[in-house]
């Protein structure tokens, strides 16, 4: 059984802080590996130990496998928690750590590799009898790809085999456009991923994104921690996630969760992972992909199940068996996560930058805030624009929504424009309130979600600007009182 006392956190921001706190609660010591730009971040400040990474860009530093391994050596860290993003789904990193005798808190490298290849993963899942959308894979027989794609029928979705994050995806509704769209998708794939291979899938209309949290131990035992729905997306980027999904009946919920657990079992999944599905309006669901790491939105699962996923990741990594059976895991109440991004919703969501001048996290019953920022910190475009996750739990979905709205309104973040107001408008939109949101909702409802400040909002903002403008106040008060009292009188 691998034993470790000191864990290196190979990540930054809110997740580095969340992992640090989770590990600390277990009595472990931590080292936060960081680039100089994050030297003042809360994770680095709170951690007992920190080690600096170097790189041509800050992102490059966090992606440097050799440096991470060296950082473990130098600090004596015996395990690495990769968080999400960066090296979290990098099989080479998992292998490099293994070779160095360092525990990777995550699945086996082979599993990472399998699930990292969208085509292989799809085949793997299909072969074992789990549902995948009807489709065709180019490399199975490139010569017949277009014909096979045509047989799948429209609407269909063309995806780059090497892709992710929605880049290069194209929806085809007119069969006549199929070939042209394939050519265009290939060019995009080559441009984004240096790989022009494609596959097509039946496109599900009004698709909803439902994913299932799974947890497996070294002994091949797998449980699921129920589903999360992440249909509220903007350009394939999740912004609001919740559990339970309002889309599912109890039977559908059991079916989809058991399918996910089955897939995890089939690949001997170790640790925390997420199986993502596309869920159609008719109740059909298809395997999308499996993420072999902790998800950004894991807190909603933690809030309804009471399970600390980081703690379970560590326990599994130490070779301990799962501490609970499937029947022990019950969904209690409802949880919603809103991702607070540094972006300007009024200007086509362009990234916002600036210095955080004031940050007051919301608090209250059922409110959890995972953030990794502090006042005085500069928000740049060097990293992902997510500033914080505001997660609210309620006895019912309605209560969770109400608490989320309140928490977003109470979240004070000044100095950088955020999407807080946009998020509250989404939460209050009837489609979301009624649990009807699909992944196309934000694009479809863009006009309704556009912020139109009322006169009173504008009054308040302008009054604040005026009253904090010392130069303006000085100028106003320099007018002699009599003249001010006369006003703009003209003879």
Q: Which residues bind another protein (CB under 8 A)?
A: 346-347, 354-355, 357-358, 360, 408-410, 412-415, 417-418, 420-421, 424, 451, 453, 455-469, 472-473, 475-491
Residue labelled with tokens 């790809």: 145
Residue 482 CB, nearest approach to another protein (Å): 5
Residue 418 CB, nearest approach to another protein (Å): 7
| C-beta of residue 169 within 8 angstroms of C-beta of residue 140 | no
- For residue 241, give the DSSP letter: E
Nearer to another protein, 322 or 342 (CB): 342
| C-beta of residue 208 within 8 angstroms of C-beta of residue 231 | yes
Nearer to another protein, 249 or 477 (CB): 477
Nearer to another protein, 250 or 482 (CB): 482
Nearer to another protein, 317 or 407 (CB): 407
Residue 377 CB, nearest approach to another protein (Å): 13
The phi and psi torsions of 351 (rounded to 5 degrees) equal -60, 140
Residue 162 CB, nearest approach to another protein (Å): 36
Nearer to another protein, 357 or 398 (CB): 357
Nearer to another protein, 39 or 479 (CB): 479
Paired strand residues for 229: 210, 242
Nearer to another protein, 266 or 414 (CB): 414
Residue labelled with tokens 């990794």: 372
Residue 417 CB, nearest approach to another protein (Å): 5
Tell whether omega for the bond before 244 is within 30 degrees of 0, i.e. cis: yes
Residue 359 CB, nearest approach to another protein (Å): 10
Residue 22 CB, nearest approach to another protein (Å): 30
The phi and psi torsions of 479 (rounded to 5 degrees) equal -70, 130
Nearer to another protein, 255 or 410 (CB): 410
Residue 390 CB, nearest approach to another protein (Å): 12
Residue 425 CB, nearest approach to another protein (Å): 10
DSSP E strand boundaries for 235-363: 237-243, 271-279, 285-291, 334-341, 343-344, 350-351, 354-355, 358-360
- For residue 369, give the DSSP letter: E
Residue 86 CB, nearest approach to another protein (Å): 29
Residue 179 CB, nearest approach to another protein (Å): 40
- Sheet holding 170-172: strands in order across? 135-137, 198-202, 156-160, 170-172
Nearer to another protein, 382 or 462 (CB): 462
Nearer to another protein, 396 or 409 (CB): 409
Q: How far lies 241's CA from each of 138, 145, 299, 338, in Å?
A: 33, 36, 10, 7
Rg (CA), the chain: 25
DSSP letters for 71-137:
HHHHHT--EEE--SSTTTT-HHHHHHHHHTT-EESSS-HHHHHHHHSHHHHHHHHHHTT--B-SEEE
Rounded distance between C-alpha atoms, residue 207 and residue 277, angstroms? 10
- Sheet holding 334-341: strands in order across? 285-291, 271-279, 208-216, 222-234, 237-243, 334-341, 386-394, 367-371
Residue 206, token pair as written in the block = 């009004």
Q: How far lies 95's CA from each of 77, 201, 274, 471, in Å?
A: 16, 32, 21, 61
| C-beta of residue 12 within 8 angstroms of C-beta of residue 62 | yes
Nearer to another protein, 56 or 447 (CB): 447
Residue 487 CB, nearest approach to another protein (Å): 6
Mention every residue, 6+ apart, whose C-beta is less than 8 A from residue 18.
Answer: 310, 370
Nearer to another protein, 191 or 360 (CB): 360
């Amino acid at each position: 059984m691998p034993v470790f006392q000191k864990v290196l956190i190979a990540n930054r921001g809110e997740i580095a802080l969340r992992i640090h706190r989770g590990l600390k609660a277990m009595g472990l010591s931590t080292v936060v590996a960081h680039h100089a730009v994050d030297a003042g971040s809360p994770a680095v400040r709170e951690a007992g130990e920190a080690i600096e990474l170097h790189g041509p860009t800050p992102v490059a530093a966090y992606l440097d496998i050799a440096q991470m391994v060296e950082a473990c050596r130098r600090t004596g860290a015996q395990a690495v928690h990769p968080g999400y993003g960066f090296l979290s789904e990098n099989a080479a990193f998992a292998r490099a750590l293994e070779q160095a005798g360092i525990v990777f808190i995550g699945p086996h490298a082979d599993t990472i590799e399998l699930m990292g290849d969208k085509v292989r993963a799809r085949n793997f899942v299909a072969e074992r009898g789990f549902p995948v959308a009807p489709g065709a894979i180019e490399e199975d027989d490139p010569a017949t790809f277009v014909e096979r794609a045509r047989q799948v029928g429209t609407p269909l979705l063309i995806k780059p085999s090497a892709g992710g994050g929605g880049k290069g995806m194209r929806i085809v509704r007119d069969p006549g456009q199929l070939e042209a769209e394939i050519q265009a998708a290939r060019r995009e794939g080559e441009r984004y991923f240096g790989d022009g291979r494609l596959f097509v899938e039946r496109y599900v209309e009004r698709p909803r994104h439902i994913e299932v949290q799974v947890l497996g131990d070294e002994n091949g035992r797998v449980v699921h921690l129920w589903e999360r729905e992440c249909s509220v997306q903007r350009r394939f980027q999740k912004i609001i996630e919740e559990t339970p999904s309002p889309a599912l009946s109890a039977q559908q919920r059991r079916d989809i969760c058991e399918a996910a657990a089955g897939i995890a079992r089939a690949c001997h999944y170790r640790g925390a992972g997420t199986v993502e599905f596309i869920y159609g309006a008719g109740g059909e669901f298809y395997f999308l992909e499996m993420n072999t790491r902790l998800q950004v939105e894991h807190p909603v699962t933690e809030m309804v199940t009471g399970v600390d996923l980081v703690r379970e990741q560590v326990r599994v990594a130490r070779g301990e068996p799962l501490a609970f059976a499937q029947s022990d895991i019950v969904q209690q109440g409802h949880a919603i996560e809103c991702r607070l991004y540094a972006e300007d919703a009024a200007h086509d969501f362009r990234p916002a930058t600036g210095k955080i001048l004031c940050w007051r996290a919301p608090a209250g019953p059922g409110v959890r805030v995972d953030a990794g920022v502090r006042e005085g910190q500069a928000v740049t475009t060097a990293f992902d624009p997510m500033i914080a996750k505001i997660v609210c739990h309620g006895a019912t979905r309605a209560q969770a929504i109400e608490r989320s709205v309140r928490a977003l309104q109470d979240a004070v973040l000044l100095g950088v424009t955020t999407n807080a107001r946009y998020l509250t408008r989404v939460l209050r939109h009837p489609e979301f309130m009624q649990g009807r949101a699909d992944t196309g909702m934000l694009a479809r409802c863009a006009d309704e979600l556009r912020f139109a400040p009322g006169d009173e909002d504008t009054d308040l903002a302008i009054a604040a600007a005026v009253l904090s403008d010392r130069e303006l106040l000085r100028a106003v008060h320099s007018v002699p009182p009599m003249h001010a009292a006369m006003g703009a009188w003209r003879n």
